[in-house]
Amino acid sequence: MAEFAAIGLGGEVGELLNGLKKVRRDLALKGIETNNGKYLQEEIADVYSYLLKLSNVLGYDLDIAYMEKVCLNLQRFLPLKTGSRPVVIVAGPPGSGKSSATSGLLKTPGRVAYVENFSQNPFLEDAILRGESAFESQEWFIDQLRRFLDQPVSDEIITVIDQTPLAIPLVYGRDFYVSNKLTKRDYLSHLENYFGLQDQLEGLTSTVFNVYLTADFDTLKNRCLTKGFVDREWLARIVDRFEPIRELADVCIDTTDLSIDDVVLKVSSMIIARG
- Which stretches of the chain drop beneath a pLDDT of 70? 79-81, 275
State which H helix or E strand residue 125 sits in.
Answer: helix 124-130
Residue 187: alpha-carbon gap to chain centroid: 13
What is the percentage of the chain residues whose pLDDT exceeds 70? 98
pLDDT at 147 (0 to 100) = 94
pLDDT at 69 (0 to 100) = 92
pLDDT at 80 (0 to 100) = 64
34-57 pLDDT, tens per residue? 777 788 889 999 999 999 999 999
Give 216-224's long-range contacts (Cβ < 8 A, gap of 24+).
216/254, 216/256, 219/95, 219/255, 219/256, 220/93, 220/94, 220/95, 220/96, 221/95, 222/95, 223/94, 223/95, 223/96, 223/97, 224/94, 224/95
Cα separation, 275 vs 269, in Å, equals 10
**Is-above-0.75 flag for pTM?**
yes
Q: Do 247 and 73 touch, CB atoms closer than 8 A?
A: no
Cα separation, 217 vs 210, in Å, equals 22
